[in-house]
Amino acid sequence: MEQNQPLRFFNRGPSPAVRLVFFVLLSLLLLFVDVRYRYLESIRSGLSVLLYPLQRLVTAPSKLWHEVDDFFVSHNSLIRDNAELRNQHTLDIAQLLQLQVLKAENQHLRNLLMVQQRADYPMQLAEIMYVERDIFNRKILLDKGTQANVLAGQIVMDDSGIVGQVTRVYPWMSEITLITDKDHAVPVQVLRNGLRAVVSGSGDTGELALRYIPISSDIQNGDVLVTSGIDGTYPPGLPVAKVIHVERDPAYPFAHILCAPIAGVDKRRQLLILSALPKLPERPEVVVETTTDKPKNGKRGGR
């Protein structure tokens, strides 16, 4: 650098070192602001609108490929799929009929107990635009955004279970954090015995971890975990994961439990966004606790 100094005949502005310091400080400031506060969301969504056509353009080849692939699906596999789906459909119809009766009965019982009703959740279909290319982030982008009334915090699922949660909304896109993301946690209940726990992502697409479960707790291989709904964000009763490995080492206070997500977290192209959150965003959190506690107490009292 110092050798360059006497040779400077032209004014080229500040030296690279000065510029580096300036831009590094600027980046660090942006990082700090982005992590601590949420001021930059509007800039981000503005830029994303500019980049949206480009991103569409880039995903076009793979989309075309998928469409061509779909087009040349063989006759046999279509027939097979159709028969399978028909079978499944008849089975489902039988169960659905029962469901209607059960629903009515449930409503009646809840009325009798004067317990809050469980709401139905309208959903909308969205397609995956692309999967995050950042190896650190387990995120996907869907093609519905604020224009389709998607809100941050809404739940995304496929036909078999929960996939993730909307964490950021752009005008025509929304960003989904998968349940397998390292920072993501879902409050769950074991379907078999009602044990409550929190399942969190492990950063690996095929694995979830149940942490801080005492060794003595009743969890077995193959247990199904469903959302408990007591957090007020996830609607209750949706399947999340299945326990695949339980290790009870007396040397540690907590059992080592691994689960596999039930939904095809990294398989599907079409996903469902539950469009109505259980009206919690407006309410303060204290109220949430009391309203969700009531059914429990009511149930206990009823028994």
Partner 1 sequence: MRDRILKDQEFQLPVSRIFIAASLLVALLLDWLPWQGMWLAFRPDFVALVLLYWCTHKPYHVGISIAWAVGILADVADASLFGQHALAYSVLAFSGIVLHRRVSMFNLYQQTLQVFPLLLLAYTVYAAVYWQLRGSISWEYFIGSVVSTLLWAPVTILLQALCRPRAATDQL
Q: What are the residues binding partner 1 (CB under 8 A)? A: 1, 12, 16-17, 19-20, 23-24, 26-31, 33-35, 40, 44, 47-48, 51, 54-55, 57-59, 61-62, 130-137, 139, 141, 168, 175, 182-183, 203
| For partner 1, the closer CB: 64 or 73 | 64
- Least distance from partner 1 to the Cβ atom of residue 174, Å: 11
| For partner 1, the closer CB: 120 or 134 | 134
| For partner 1, the closer CB: 183 or 218 | 183
Count of C-beta atoms within a 10 Å radius of residue 281: 11
- Least distance from partner 1 to the Cβ atom of residue 17, Å: 7
Residue 225 DSSP symbol: E
Helix, coil or strand: residue 52:
helix
- Least distance from partner 1 to the Cβ atom of residue 139, Å: 6
Give the pair of three-digit tokens for residue 243.
């326990």
| For partner 1, the closer CB: 248 or 268 | 268
CA distance 49 to 56: 11
- Least distance from partner 1 to the Cβ atom of residue 205, Å: 9
**What is the CB-side half-sphere exposure of residue 179 using CA atoms within 13 A?**
33
| For partner 1, the closer CB: 51 or 85 | 51
Specify whether the CB–CB gap between 158 and 126 falls below 8 A: no
| For partner 1, the closer CB: 35 or 114 | 35
CA distance 297 to 234: 21
Q: Are strands 239-247 and 155-157 parallel, antiparallel or unpaired?
A: unpaired
- Least distance from partner 1 to the Cβ atom of residue 168, Å: 7
Q: Where are the beta strands (DSSP E) in the chain?
A: 123-131, 139-142, 155-157, 162-169, 174-178, 185-190, 196-201, 208-210, 224-227, 239-247, 256-261, 270-274
- Least distance from partner 1 to the Cβ atom of residue 193, Å: 32
- Least distance from partner 1 to the Cβ atom of residue 171, Å: 13
| For partner 1, the closer CB: 24 or 83 | 24
Name the phi and psi angles at 154, rounded to 5: -75, 160
